[in-house]
Amino acid sequence: MLSSAKHKINHSDFSISSSTSSSLSHSLSQAKNMTQVTMEEEWKEINLASLHQHRQLNIDHEPVLSNQNPNKSIFQDFLNKPLNQEPPPSSSSTHHGSLLAPPATVISLNTHSIDTHFDESAMFGCFGKKRGQDSDDSRGDRRHKRMTKNRESAARSRARKQERAYTNELELEIVHLQKENARLKRQEEQMQLKKAEATQHQTKKILQWSLTSPF
Amino acid sequence: MSVNNRDPLVVGGVIGDVLERFTRSIDLRVTYGQREVTNGLDIRPSQIINKPRVEIGGEDLRNFYTLVMVDPDVPSPSNPHLREYLHWLVTDIPATTGTNFGNEIVSYESPRPTSGIHRLVLVLFRQLGRQTVYEPGWRPQFNTREFAALYNLGLPVAAVYFNCQRDNGCGGRRT
């Protein structure tokens, strides 16, 4: 489990010579007992291990793995690669999807490979905001992702607010319509009464007339 | 009446995230205690520990209906990768009656959202016949659309949803 504090691990020259599973685990174990390496490489290690676990080692990734350049650019490549790729057709069709499928953010990589209940704030803490070796790119990326999520959250809030307003409107209209309905019914009743009276009166008159007609 | 763009189900994203557009044709009344659920109502978990009373309309007692209750915002609305979580599934509800007269094939599990403000959606479908719907086997990653397709339930005949966040949530506002 990644802690929220930045931490360095003792690694050797982090080297992966081929993509086969045995050498992968060999280099991982080798990595456990040596010199300094940054968080990026530890992260790469974890991701590669999960890749192996999920059996999604993609041919396209070999060049990345065998490139033994341990500096931060490889991390960028690793991140950027999946965004340009199609998900491999043989990947499992589970909802979690492939790690190689375009994960919109590093955050989703994080979620899928580590723990589905990973709290968002902890995720950011893992990366840390003040890592001196970060390129501006990845920092901008994270900020951009955060902005997007914030925007979505704001949109949801506005939607909720809008519905509340709409429901209120409808409720008011119901009350208004009920009152009007009651009023119109009363009106109709009265008109019916008047009409009944009028026809009665009319009939009387006709009768009177006939009674008094001169023959 | 068909759903228009100002309908709370559309505004709240329920049409889209969970359901297709449909035309309401059957009355659906959901009540937790004394509160009737209207679209977008805010309810806390402590108020919905026990299953609600659900009454449906319709006219012909020979028609049977299925009620589905899902949460599309699991584990959180900003990252709903476990969408949807099935909270309750009742089948064979005769028209004009309620869930008490149906077959509760997935028991009511009270929602307890930990992160964010979740929508809880209750959907009513008309069944083609009696006892034609079977339990899905698990709750997370349920898909209402697929479920309806699988059992030829067609489009919903009614739906309502409410919002739920944890009891000591701040209502989505930072203080």
Here the CATH number for the domain that contains residue B122 is 3.90.280.10
3-state DSSP assignment of residue A15? coil
Distance between A186 CA and the closest CA of chain B, angstroms: 29
Chain B residue numbers with beta carbons less than 8 Å from the beta carbon of A154 are none
* pLDDT tens column, B106-129: 999 999 999 999 999 999 999 988
Give the count of Cβ contacts less than 8 A between chain A and B. 48
pLDDT given at position B2: 73
* Cβ distance of A95 and B141 shorter than 8 Å: yes
Distance between A78 CA and the closest CA of chain B, angstroms: 23
What percent of chain A is modeled with pLDDT above 70?
Answer: 36
**E-state strands within A21-154:** 36-37
Distance between A203 CA and the closest CA of chain B, angstroms: 46
B158-164/B41-43 β-pairing:
parallel
Mutate to test the interface with A, among B36, B37, B81 (most CBs of A within 10 A): B81
Does B33 have pLDDT greater than 70? Answer: yes
Q: Which two tokens stand for residue A8?
A: 């360095």
Chain B touched by A149 (CB under 8 Å)? yes
Chain B touched by A158 (CB under 8 Å)? no
Does A213 have pLDDT greater than 70? Answer: no
Q: How confident is the model at residue A18 (pLDDT cuts 50, 70, 90)?
A: very low
The answer to whether residue B81 sits within a structural domain is: yes
Q: Which stretch of DSSP H or E encloses residue A138? A: helix A136-212
Q: How confident is the model at residue A113 (pLDDT cuts 50, 70, 90)?
A: very low
* Cβ distance of B8 and A119 shorter than 8 Å: no
More confident residue, B24 or B4: B24
| Sign of the torsion angle spanned by Cα atoms A43, A45, A49, A55 | positive
Mutate to test the interface with A, among B11, B84, B114 (most CBs of A within 10 A): B11
pLDDT given at position A173: 92
How many structural domains comprise chain B? 1
Q: Which of B13, B78, B115 sits opposite A159 (nearest CB)?
A: B13
The answer to whether residue B171 sits within a structural domain is: no
The answer to whether residue B173 sits within a structural domain is: no
Kindly provide the b/e burial profile for residues A6-40, where b requires at least 16 CB atoms within 10 angstroms of the residue's own CB.
Answer: eeeeebeebebeebeeeebeebbebbeeeeebbbb
Tokens 């009464």, residue?
A193
Chain B touched by A119 (CB under 8 Å)? yes
pLDDT given at position A40: 58
* Cβ distance of A116 and B13 shorter than 8 Å: no
Does B90 have pLDDT greater than 50? Answer: yes
Q: What is the mean pLDDT of chain A?
A: 62
What percent of chain A is modeled with pLDDT above 90?
Answer: 14
Q: Provide mean pLDDT across the span B39-54.
A: 94
Neighbours of B122 (CB within 10 A): 22
* Cβ distance of B78 and A152 shorter than 8 Å: yes
* Max mean pLDDT range (A60-74, A128-142, B88-102): B88-102
φ and ψ of B55, to 5 deg: -120, 135
The answer to whether residue B36 sits within a structural domain is: yes
Chain A residue numbers with beta carbons less than 8 Å from the beta carbon of B141 are 95
* pLDDT tens column, A36-46: 555 555 555 55
Say how far apart CA A33 and CA A28 lie, in whole Å: 10
φ and ψ of A54, to 5 deg: -85, 5
Q: Which chain A residue shows the shortest CA-CA distance from B75?
A: A117
Q: How confident is the model at residue B136 (pLDDT cuts 50, 70, 90)?
A: confident
Q: What is the mean pLDDT of chain B?
A: 92
The answer to whether residue B159 sits within a structural domain is: yes
Chain A residue numbers with beta carbons less than 8 Å from the beta carbon of B79 are 107-108, 111, 120
Does A12 have pLDDT greater than 70? Answer: no
- Domain holding B146, by residue range, is 6-163
Does B30 have pLDDT greater than 80? Answer: yes
Q: Provide mean pLDDT across the span B145-163.
A: 95
The answer to whether residue B168 sits within a structural domain is: no
Chain B residue numbers with beta carbons less than 8 Å from the beta carbon of A160 are 12, 40, 117, 163, 172
Chain B residue numbers with beta carbons less than 8 Å from the beta carbon of A110 are none
Q: Provide mean pLDDT across the span B139-152.
A: 94
Q: Provide mean pLDDT across the span B9-27.
A: 94
Q: Report the greatest alpha carbon distance in chain A.
A: 136
Q: What is the ipTM of this complex?
A: 0.77
Chain B touched by A156 (CB under 8 Å)? yes
In whole angstroms, how large is the CA radius of gyration of chain A?
Answer: 38
More confident residue, A177 or A23: A177
* pLDDT tens column, A84-108: 444 444 444 444 434 444 444 444 4
pLDDT given at position A50: 53
The answer to whether residue B31 sits within a structural domain is: yes
* Max mean pLDDT range (A30-44, A81-95, A107-121, A137-151): A137-151
Does A77 have pLDDT greater than 80? Answer: no
The answer to whether residue B1 sits within a structural domain is: no
Kindly provide the b/e burial profile for residues A137-176, where b requires at least 16 CB atoms within 10 angstroms of the residue's own CB.
Answer: ebeebbeebeeeeeeeeeebeebbeebbebeeeeeeeeee
